[in-house]
Chain A
């Protein structure tokens, strides 16, 4: 299978196999006009299998969202056919309007206009807590 290499844009590499579509949706990539390639189940030395997303345009990506969904991803920045930057992701300290609190007793269940804010409570376990009611979310 051949997929054209990109001229200037972003390659999301080392995506956990099976998560590419979730990332596609979270980053709203369906709204882009440029070529976007989702490559699933690519053989990988480190991971066995991995997914890759190639975006042929220099767009801004919310690295916090990406870090929350899959902190193992490598973000490669491509300019003029060359990789000019690599970013390793990590779990973000704070997530705003990425996930919603499911606690029916939380104020966010009735107060419509407030942001859904989660804070990283336990980096080792990847646990976030709602900034309002402190309900946990993994």
Chain B
């Protein structure tokens, strides 16, 4: 039985297969409309996240399956003090596959120990969010036609941004990627990631100004400075507006650069950018549903 706890649980070949399956689903949705008929997905969200939960539920419904679950720990037995492990064992009696989000880092690793059904990590605190990474990889592949030989700029909160950490780890398994890390000094990427990039021979640089690197980028990945990751309100207020993307800034960018964002955004991308063809964050959202469909099929062993 397979689970998806960390993006590196799957080999590059397996991820490429899953991205191909996603594209096949996009091309012929009718072919997969009953693939999960009679199966149930449980969405266990111990921490609220409307978009990820809805994406999973829409994915399962488009495969002809059903969904059940809860959307906050207040409405689950976790509020009564039940362990994650016991919740998972119980839900495994009702559902065929589980997507879980939990505020504690490593919760899905604890969950798989006793699970009788595949577990999908839908986010564990500030740690991992592998289905967002699959979404990002599918988006880059569809928009740029490749996952190698790209200059990828990551901008904003690179310290706490789990989507950024996971995406770098995933892209570091492809060749010819140059990383440009754009953040204020307080929100720089952790040293262990820089060490990993250096050890694996990747070119990377760290800058504070988005403007100076804009013309070089093939991909610009914007992130939100997340309030829930700060212990201190004053630090959050001071840093939240650090980098804002506007149409003026985009003028310096390549004509075929793409702007990505895991969403939700606060104000780091001006709404005036939305109509620019390079802005692909809403297409990215839709890709998230397709890649989750491919993931469910893969974990359920429904792939030829």
Contacts and interface: CB of A to CB of B under 8 A. Distances in A.
A124 B84 CA distance: 35
Interface string B83-103: 111000000000000000011
Interface in A69-104: 103
B77 to A, nearest CB: 14
A133 B105 contact: yes
Contact of B85 (A114, A131, A132, A136): A114
A105 B83 contact: no
Contacts of A3: none
B48 interface: no
Interface in B88-146: 102-107, 109-110, 113, 124-127
Interface of A: 103, 105-114, 130-136
Interface of B: 83-85, 102-107, 109-110, 113, 124-127, 192
27 contacts: A103-B105, A105-B103, A105-B125, A105-B127, A106-B104, A106-B105, A107-B84, A107-B106, A107-B107, A107-B110, A107-B124, A108-B106, A109-B104, A111-B83, A111-B107, A113-B83, A114-B85, A114-B110, A114-B113, A131-B106, A131-B109, A132-B105, A132-B110, A133-B106, A133-B127, A134-B105, A136-B192
A113 B85 CA distance: 9
Contacts of A109: 104
Q: Is the interface of A mostly helix, strand, loop or mixed?
A: loop
A26 B84 CA distance: 30
A136 B125 CA distance: 17
A68 to B, nearest CB: 20
B105 A105 contact: yes
